[in-house]
Structure formats: C-alpha cells, structure tokens
Copies of this chain bind each other. A is one copy, B any other.
C-alpha cells in the first residue's frame, strides 16, 4: 500500500506593490495553495493572478482567511465579535471563490492564517464563528487545521470535513502538539531534516518529539512555509524526499 499526502503552502501574501512569496516557484512544488483573501494580505489582482496560475498548475486552491489587519499581517490577537468574524470569513471565502470560478476552477478548502489560526486552536467562540462563516458559504468545504484544535472540533460538529495538517519544520511535544514558537528550538531550519520528518509523517504517521520520543501525527497535508529565503528550495527538497520514499503527492480536496 502506498502512502499519499498533500503539500500546502501560503501564497499571494503580497499587497499592491509588495510581494512576499515566490508564488510561481511554489506552485510547481505544492499540491494545495492557501491564498490570502485581502484582510491580512492579498489584493484582488494578486488573488486572481495566483488563482489562475494555481488552476493552470493543477494545484488545489484554499481560502487563507485572516483578521482584518494589514498593518499586523493578521498576526496579532484580535477579539473580534462573533457575528463580525463569521461575516468576515464568509466575505473572504466568497471573494476568493469568485476568483477561482473566474479562473475556471473551484475553491476547494479553507484554512486560517496567523493569529486567527492560533486563536481558533483553543478559543471555541472564534472557532465556531469561523466554521459558521465557512458553512454559510458552502457546507461541503473542508477546513484544514491543527489536529486537536477547537477549530477542527467545531468543523466536525458542524458536519464539515475537518482535515488535519502536520508541520515538518516545527518541533513537537510528547503529546504530539506543537512546541510554542516562543520556546527555543521550536522551529527547525535544516531542509534535509525537515524533509526527513515530512516523509516520516506521511509514511508512518509519526514524528520525533523534541525529547527524542515518537508521537503519532495524523496529517492529510503537510505545511511548507513559503515566506522565508530559501523557501522554494526547501519545499523542493521535501517534495523530492517524499517522491523518493514512494509517497504520492495529491491535493486532499
């Protein structure tokens, strides 16, 4: 039996004159593209361009929804009221879905960005608001997120497909959760090691924890980070390692 996994990366994280990610480079490597929808990054022209390129490359498109915070790139905790967050998510998802169908493809899933991702990992109120926003757009859209998060629980409870992702470049605790970024060693930098961990997650469903033990990691997708120097090269190495290990790369949605 051969293993199969999805590779997802954030894209379209520019705004107007500014660019962050090498979208064309990443689209040749990953199988799913999390495209920013205009609230933390992403202007309509960029969204449309990246959606069209992703469609051409056969890459599945996901709405990367975030807080309305361009200055903070959606990375600051914001206590957004429930009905407003629901509407903000619906708005972003619908706008990107429009860019997808204008590009002859369909929106396949939704993922949270930045601090919205972090907050909905544990905050049931915001998690429910996000899920409600997604459902009001399309109750058949999967939600990609952190295993064990409040978000995936809320998604499951609401009847959405809750898809778990793994982070090969992040350290894991013995409980199989992420070591917080504030702690030393939370983020790994060696592309070879990161690739090896990705293969382990995809093939065995396991990850070596920071204590040297082994934890289970259910993941239908692996997240590769695109906004750092060397990102495309690191993603390429991951893809090669997976293919060499006989893992099939395909969108989860």
Q: Taking beta carbons and an 8 Å cutoff, which residues of A are in contact with B? A: 14-20, 38, 41, 43-45, 47-48, 68-73, 75-81, 83-84, 87-88, 90-95, 97-99, 101-102, 115, 136-137
Residues of B within 8 A of A137 (CB): 98, 101-102
Residues of chain B within 8 A (CB-CB) of A73 are 16-17
What residues of chain B lie closer than 8 Å to A92, measured between beta carbons?
A: 95
How near does chain B come to A216, taking the closest CB pair, in angstroms? 32
A199 CA / B6 CA spacing, docked (Å): 57
Contact in complex: A91, B15 (CB < 8 Å):
no
Contacts of A88 in B (CB 8 A): 44-45
A-B interface, 3 closest residue pairs, ranked by CB to CB distance from nearest: A94-B98, A18-B18, A44-B91
Output the least CB separation between A225 and chain B (Å). 14
Bound Cα distance A44, B44 (Å): 16
Q: List 29 A-B contacts (CB under 8 A).
A: A14-B18, A15-B18, A16-B70, A17-B20, A18-B18, A43-B84, A44-B88, A45-B84, A45-B88, A47-B87, A48-B87, A48-B90, A69-B78, A72-B80, A76-B78, A76-B79, A76-B80, A77-B77, A79-B115, A87-B99, A90-B98, A92-B95, A94-B95, A94-B97, A95-B98, A98-B98, A101-B137, A102-B136, A102-B137
